[in-house]
């Protein structure tokens, strides 16, 4: 038998406008630019630009500075806006920010680059090939990954070719084609392992025959000893002195382990900071880097359509559509304002907590999201969204906002230091170690304890792995 009952529950639900704000808060500057461009294309009531009189009356530049930043309207206030607030003959409309100076944006053109797949096909097609070899080569090149390796089994590639094209290509034929591909530029492309990649590069190098022979023996016969860095055993097995072995090892280590990895130009390898923090007369000035974010306003050309009655040719459906687009545009502009205000508040709190670092570039203090959350009175999830994928330009370089958050490590004196400072000390110890006898994780932990840092061996290992530093055995070098 079914029972019907009533229950009262208190639930918190985010409105669509709040969801939009939270999503925009998470976007870095470049992504926000793309979001605005897309919204301008979708919403006819949203347009870019200032009114002429506002441009004349505004300052040349208005940096975003802590409490001096212009306060924006809350979601509750937005509900009180009317059409006239945005669309009157005297006002300029709702803008995203005060106008900055009109200096030209410096563009960094990125040169056009031919994809690796196309470059390999162009080279391969110049060889004397049969139809089956050309078909096999195209299939193999198509399976080469971003690092330049052929991870897929060659027999499986041949099987797919035969089933798809009705051919009878053998694995031996495919091996011959693969050998030709591996000698294209870059040499070693399409190798199935690091060992094969290095051997192919060695075979095509024009170097001293004796040096090449020793290198090929190391990679062919004693590859495990080479990867495990058993240099003493290698020298004995090869019957050569340590100095000569060092020369061979240096030669091998200068080969390219990832032939498919492209070069990144200076124009491509850059980060656009979301904040700029500068120190001026013992006070920090925080600027939100939104120069390329266009000012937005409501298109007042639709005011006439909003005021026309149906008998003048404007239907109720048209008016409803315009009202919907008007609300969407209003909330979008408001979200940009709220995003700007929240980001500046969070950045100001970070600067206050990490003042020593912003003054000297050192002395990072332990700090978690909860610390900032309590200062500005916002939820931890909001802090996480602000920090996500954001960067700040300081007097000492460009840093991710996540860089300023870290757990604490207790010292023997009862103080707390950031684990990033511990990592920095750990990196310094490893850089100063004897390369012939690298420090083990246990020894590193003992040294750190002698310096007053209470840290276990497993924690040292964790920090070392996070910094992409190999174990002591793999750090050994021949001197």
| Pairing, β 391-394 against β 275-280 | parallel
Task: Give CA–CA dist 218/234, Å, rounded.
Answer: 8
Q: Are 287 and 327 in contact (CB under 8 A)?
A: no
Question: Which residues are CB-neighbours of 328 under 8 A, at least 6 positions away?
Answer: 43, 45, 46
Q: Which of 3-7, 223-227, 253-257, 435-439 has the lowest mean pLDDT?
A: 3-7
Task: Say what the pLDDT of residue 66 is.
Answer: 42
Taking the domains of the chain in order of start, what are their residue ranges?
16-97+272-398, 116-253, 408-475
- Confidence tier at 110 by pLDDT (50, 70, 90): low
Task: Say what the pLDDT of residue 308 is.
Answer: 58
Rounded percentage of the chain residues whose pLDDT exceeds 70: 81
Q: Which of 150-159, 316-325, 412-421, 436-445 has the lowest mean pLDDT?
A: 412-421
Q: In Å, what is the CA distance from 478 to each residue of 215, 246, 249, 444, 469? A: 16, 6, 9, 21, 18
Task: Say what the pLDDT of residue 390 is.
Answer: 92
Kindly compute the dihedral angle of the four CA atoms of residues 326, 329, 333, 339, in this order, to the nearest 10 degrees. 130
| Pairing, β 408-410 against β 397-400 | unpaired
> Does position 106 have pLDDT exceeding 70, yes or no?
no
408-475: CATH architecture: Orthogonal Bundle (1.10)
Task: Say what the pLDDT of residue 307 is.
Answer: 61
Within a 10 A sphere around the Cβ of 258, how many other Cβ atoms?
A: 15
Q: 249-292 pLDDT, tens per residue?
A: 999 999 999 998 765 454 555 788 999 999 988 899 999 988 88
Task: Say what the pLDDT of residue 85 is.
Answer: 43
């Amino acid at each position: 038998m079914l029972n019907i009952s009533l229950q009262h529950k208190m639930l918190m639900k985010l409105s669509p406008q709040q969801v939009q704000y939270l999503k925009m808060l998470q976007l870095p500057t470049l992504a926000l630019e793309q979001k605005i461009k897309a919204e301008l294309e979708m919403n006819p009531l949203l347009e870019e630009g200032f009114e002429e009189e506002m441009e004349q009356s505004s300052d040349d530049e208005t940096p975003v500075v802590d409490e001096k930043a212009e306060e924006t309207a809350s979601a509750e206030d937005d509900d009180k806006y009317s059409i006239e607030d945005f669309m009157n003959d005297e006002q300029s409309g709702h803008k995203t920010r005060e106008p900055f100076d009109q200096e030209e944006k410096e563009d960094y053109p990125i040169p056009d680059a031919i994809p690796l797949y196309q470059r390999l096909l162009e080279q391969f097609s110049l060889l004397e090939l049969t139809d089956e070899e050309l078909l096999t080569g195209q299939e193999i090149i198509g399976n080469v990954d971003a690092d330049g390796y052929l991870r897929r089994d060659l027999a499986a590639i041949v099987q797919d070719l035969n089933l798809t094209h009705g051919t009878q290509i053998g694995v031996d034929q495919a091996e011959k084609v693969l050998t030709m591909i591996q000698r294209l530029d870059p040499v070693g492309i399409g190798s199935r392992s690091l060992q094969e990649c290095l051997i192919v590069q060695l075979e095509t190098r024009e170097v001293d025959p004796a040096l090449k022979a020793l290198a090929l023996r190391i990679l062919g016969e004693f590859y495990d000893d080479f990867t495990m860095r058993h240099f003493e055993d290698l020298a004995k097995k090869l019957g050569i002195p340590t100095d000569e072995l060092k020369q061979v090892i240096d030669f091998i280590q200068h080969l390219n382990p990832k032939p498919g990895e492209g070069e990144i130009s200076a124009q491509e390898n850059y980060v656009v900071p979301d904040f700029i923090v500068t120190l001026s007369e013992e006070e920090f000035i925080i600027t939100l880097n939104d120069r390329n974010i266009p000012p937005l306003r409501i298109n007042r050309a639709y005011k006439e359509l909003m005021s026309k009655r149906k008998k003048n040719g404007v239907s109720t459906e048209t008016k409803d559509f315009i009202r919907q687009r008007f609300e969407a545009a209003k909330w979008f502009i408001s979200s940009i304002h709220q995003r700007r205000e929240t980001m500046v508040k969070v950045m100001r709190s970070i600067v206050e907590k990490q003042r020593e670092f912003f003054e000297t570039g050192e002395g990072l203090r332990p700090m978690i999201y909860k610390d900032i959350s309590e200062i500005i009175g916002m939820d931890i999830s909001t802090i996480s969204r602000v920090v996500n994928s954001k960067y700040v330009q300081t007097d000492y370089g460009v840093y991710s906002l996540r860089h300023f958050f870290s757990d604490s490590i207790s010292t023997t004196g009862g103080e707390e230091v950031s684990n990033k400072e511990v990592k920095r000390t750990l990196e310094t110890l490893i850089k100063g170690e004897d390369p012939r006898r690298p420090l083990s994780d246990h020894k590193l932990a003992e040294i750190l304890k002698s310096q007053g840092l209470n840290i276990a061996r497993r924690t040292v290992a964790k920090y070392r792995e996070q910094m992409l530093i190999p174990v002591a055995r793999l750090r050994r070098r021949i001197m």
